[in-house]
Amino acid sequence: MGLKPDRWIKDMVRRHGMIDPFVDAQVRAGAISYGVSSYGYDMRVADEFKIFTNVRSAVVDPKRFDAASFVDFRGDVCIIPPNSFVLARSVEYFRIPRAVLTICLGKSTYARCGLIVNVTPFEPEWEGFVTLEISNTTPLPAKVYANEGLAQVLFFEADEVCEQSYADKKGKYQGQTGVTPPRM
């Protein structure tokens, strides 16, 4: 890296527009923290959610996902039903440089409440709003707060650029703008 990790992130944002909007310090005042952290970036969850419902008793099939399995919701607080999940999106738009890969992990504040955040890696040259999957593993309803921290993104810079980036292979989730359900 050469630079201290938090300075490296700030430099990459300046040079590549890697995160927009970008918060260059950790924000905590009355909120679940977000912004630059020691070795990563704590991203926020937007106020757009798709709440999974089993009202139609559909079979979950990643090859033929029925969008009617979700109820759209917009608000400052999303209630996730017991033993269920929601899809949401990040507040931040990411542009990953060709020599960078990320791993994203849920914040401990939510994990300690039984909420698990799952996000696949952001591949080199992927860009878009992040679709976040938030699972409520508890037998009780659980709250998620919009515009507050939800997950930490860790950045890994390679010594060389990859042969084929996400943009090169025209990945199906490139440039996603809203909460994006599974695609084939």
Other CB atoms within 10 Å distance of the CB of residue 111: 13
Give how far Cα 9 sits from Cα of 13, 24, 41, 134, 173, Å.
6, 9, 8, 26, 24
Please list, in sequence order, all residues whose beta carbon lies within 8 angstroms of the beta carbon of residue 57, skipping any fewer than 6 positions away: none
Q: Return the bridge partners of 72, or none.
A: 50
The active-site residue out of 92, 133, 148, 160 is 133
Q: Is 133 a catalytic residue?
A: yes
Bridge partners (DSSP) listed for residue 174: none
Rounded Cα distance, 49 and 72, in Å:
6
H-helix or E-strand spanning residue 153: strand 149-157
- Residue pointed to by tokens 């008793």: 57
Residue 94's DSSP bridge partners are 19, 128
CA 82 from chain centre, in angstroms, equals 21
**Tokens standing for residue 113:** 């409440």
- Annotated catalytic residues are 133
